[in-house]
């Protein structure tokens, strides 16, 4: 029932869009911060 509500109602689809958006933003920020940390580590090593 919960899956039907998630994929078939307006509220469910908006919730799904928010969940996916948060996951995408989190993955992007994690990748960005990891690359900045690696860049800082390389600069300190010189």
> Mean pLDDT throughout 15-44?
96
State the pTM of this model. 0.77
Tokens of 45: 């090593």
Note the pLDDT tens digit of each residue in 3-29: 999 999 999 999 999 999 999 999 999
CA distances for 3 relative to 6, 10, 25, 35, angstroms: 5, 13, 24, 37
pLDDT at 45 over 90: no
Segment holding 46, helix H or strand E:
none
- Please report the pLDDT score of residue 46 as a whole number: 59
Q: What is the mean pLDDT of residues 38-42?
A: 91
Give me the pLDDT at residue 1, please: 86
């Amino acid at each position: 029932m919960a899956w039907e509500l998630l994929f078939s109602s307006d509220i469910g689809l908006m919730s799904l869009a928010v969940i996916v958006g948060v996951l995408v933003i989190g993955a992007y920020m994690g990748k960005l911060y990891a690359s900045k940390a690696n860049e800082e580590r390389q600069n300190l090593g010189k």
